[in-house]
């Protein structure tokens, strides 16, 4: 077990949107980031990484390139000692103790699950890059299995996909993956007569509750036009290997259930003695400082952040995490000022060159909505070389069909001998 000091005295826990941007904005002041991956995942591009319009590697930004002045420790933060001002980190080289003068907690969130029979065994999550690759392989594998099936019922079950949670992640993932399946069917002539079922379930009365109703209604109508079944005011009752049961008793034969019903703050925080709200988010003041701890700061999905320019604490989104990160970096380097951010807009893609966007009071849908969504993400994505790679992927996908190779064994090579 070794001890080291955080660079510039600043230790950032978590290399996601919030932590990555704090370290980047700190610039020459320097910082040490503790992260479980050596990249920041640009989550809004995850649905496209899953559907193959984007190479999955291009949806991430290496932290060492994004924050060249920061030091990275690849590992998991496990415990916090507020008295000694240290954090223990599990690394491949054993446990290391990192000393800090200022601590930034940006440990993000995890998929929010509820105890539904079969969910943890059979549900797929959609939060990480590994989840996106897994989901893509699952869809392609189901097409192969359906093609091999001799029984019509079995084939229909393989071609049924249920998504629970109709927020951004669920709607975008379903739209993109159903496009992938439809494109891929060109190569599966045997499957074309078999109906495909894409089912979207949510307990709320409408899909995409975060956006203005006219845009949400447009998204619902667009998905219905493509044959997507939408069950609102509906809950998930149970899941098994070959069936999903909804609260109203509807039984859906399927092998694929994707759980996209929201996130919960990182549960590790419950083991640390920081002040938490009823949902488990770290309580911070208007300067983003953890209540009662002068040298500890928190932001992003793991924190309850009051916003001087809004009546509510910030929702868990990238655009808020990014603005919080900018303010926090300035508060660490100069006179601290309250955080405040007025949302500029909201954007989402629906596949097939369609999308929805509300920007600066304008509501756009269809192709203009899709174009604005892509332009916005391209603008936000850090590093010119990343932007270029994404543009190349998007350009290629305008002219060529998606790749339908199923790479489920990638990362699991055969053992020698």
Ligand X SMILES: Cc1cc2nc3c(=O)[nH]c(=O)nc-3n(C[C@H](O)[C@H](O)[C@H](O)COP(=O)(O)OP(=O)(O)OC[C@H]3O[C@@H](n4cnc5c(N)ncnc54)[C@H](O)[C@@H]3O)c2cc1C
Chain residues in the site for ligand X (CB under 6 A): 13-19, 34-37, 43-44, 46, 76-77, 106-109, 126-127, 168-169, 266, 268, 300-302, 316-319, 321
Minimum Å gap between C-beta 119 and ligand X is 17
Minimum Å gap between C-beta 147 and ligand X is 29
Query: What b/e string do you get for 184-200 counting C-beta neighbours within 10 Å, with b at 16 or more?
Result: bbeebeebeebebbbbb
* Burial label, 45 (beta-carbon count in 10 A; 0-12, 13-18, 19+): buried
- Name the residue whose CB lies closest to ligand X: 16
Residues 6+ apart with CB under 8 A from 54: 45, 48, 390, 393, 394, 397
Residue closer to ligand X, measured from CB, 188 or 371: 371
Answer for the pair 290, 105: CB distance below 8 angstroms, yes or no.
Answer: yes
Residue closer to ligand X, measured from CB, 67 or 191: 67
Answer for the pair 257, 244: CB distance below 8 angstroms, yes or no.
Answer: yes
How far apart, in whole angstroms, are the C-alpha atoms of residue 69 and residue 6? 12
Minimum Å gap between C-beta 318 and ligand X is 4
Residue closer to ligand X, measured from CB, 158 or 289: 289
Minimum Å gap between C-beta 247 and ligand X is 24
Minimum Å gap between C-beta 56 and ligand X is 13
Residue closer to ligand X, measured from CB, 18 or 236: 18
Residue closer to ligand X, measured from CB, 13 or 201: 13
Residue closer to ligand X, measured from CB, 122 or 127: 127
Residue closer to ligand X, measured from CB, 106 or 350: 106
Minimum Å gap between C-beta 21 and ligand X is 8
Residue closer to ligand X, measured from CB, 213 or 267: 267
Minimum Å gap between C-beta 146 and ligand X is 26
Minimum Å gap between C-beta 305 and ligand X is 10
């Amino acid at each position: 077990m070794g001890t080291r000091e955080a660079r510039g005295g600043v230790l950032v826990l978590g290399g996601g949107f919030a932590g990555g941007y704090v370290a980047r904005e700190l610039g020459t002041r320097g910082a040490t980031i503790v992260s479980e991956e050596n990249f920041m995942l640009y989550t809004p591009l995850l649905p496209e990484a899953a559907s193959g319009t984007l190479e999955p590697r291009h949806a991430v930004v290496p932290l060492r390139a994004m924050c060249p002045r920061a030091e990275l420790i690849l590992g998991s933060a496990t415990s916090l000692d507020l008295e000694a001002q240290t954090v223990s980190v599990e690394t491949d080289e054993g446990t290391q103790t990192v000393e800090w003068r200022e601590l930034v907690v940006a440990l993000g969130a995890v998929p929010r699950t509820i105890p539904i029979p079969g969910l943890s065994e059979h549900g797929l999550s959609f939060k990480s890059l590994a989840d996106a690759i897994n989901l893509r392989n699952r869809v392609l594998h189901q097409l192969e299995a359906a093609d091999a099936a001799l029984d019509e019922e079995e084939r229909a079950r393989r071609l049924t996909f249920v998504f629970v949670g109709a927020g951004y992640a669920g709607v975008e993932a379903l739209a993109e993956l159903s496009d992938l399946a439809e494109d891929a069917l060109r190569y599966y002539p045997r499957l074309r007569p078999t109906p495909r079922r894409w089912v979207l379930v949510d307990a709320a009365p409408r899909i995409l509750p975060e956006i203005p109703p006219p845009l949400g209604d447009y998204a619902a109508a667009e998905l219905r036009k493509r044959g997507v079944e939408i069950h609102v005011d509906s809950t998930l009752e149970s899941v098994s290997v070959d069936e999903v049961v909804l609260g109203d008793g509807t039984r859906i034969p399927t092998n694929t259930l994707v759980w996209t019903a929201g996130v919960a703050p990182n549960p590790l925080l419950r083991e640390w003695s920081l002040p938490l709200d009823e949902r488990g988010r770290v309580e911070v003041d208007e300067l983003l400082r953890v209540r009662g701890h002068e040298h500890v700061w928190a932001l992003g999905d793991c924190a309850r952040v009051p916003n001087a320019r809004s009546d509510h604490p910030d929702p868990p989104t990238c655009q808020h995490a990014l603005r919080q990160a900018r303010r926090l970096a300035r508060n660490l380097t100069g006179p601290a000022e309250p955080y405040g951010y007025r949302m500029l807009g909201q954007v989402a893609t629906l596949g097939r060159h369609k999308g929805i966007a509300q920007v600066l009071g304008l509501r756009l849908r269809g192709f203009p909505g899709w174009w604005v969504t892509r332009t916005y993400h391209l603008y936000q994505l850090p590093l010119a070389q990343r932007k270029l790679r994404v543009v190349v992927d998007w350009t290629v996908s305008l002219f060529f069909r998606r790749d339908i190779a199923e790479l489920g064994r990638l990362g699991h090579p055969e053992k020698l001998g």
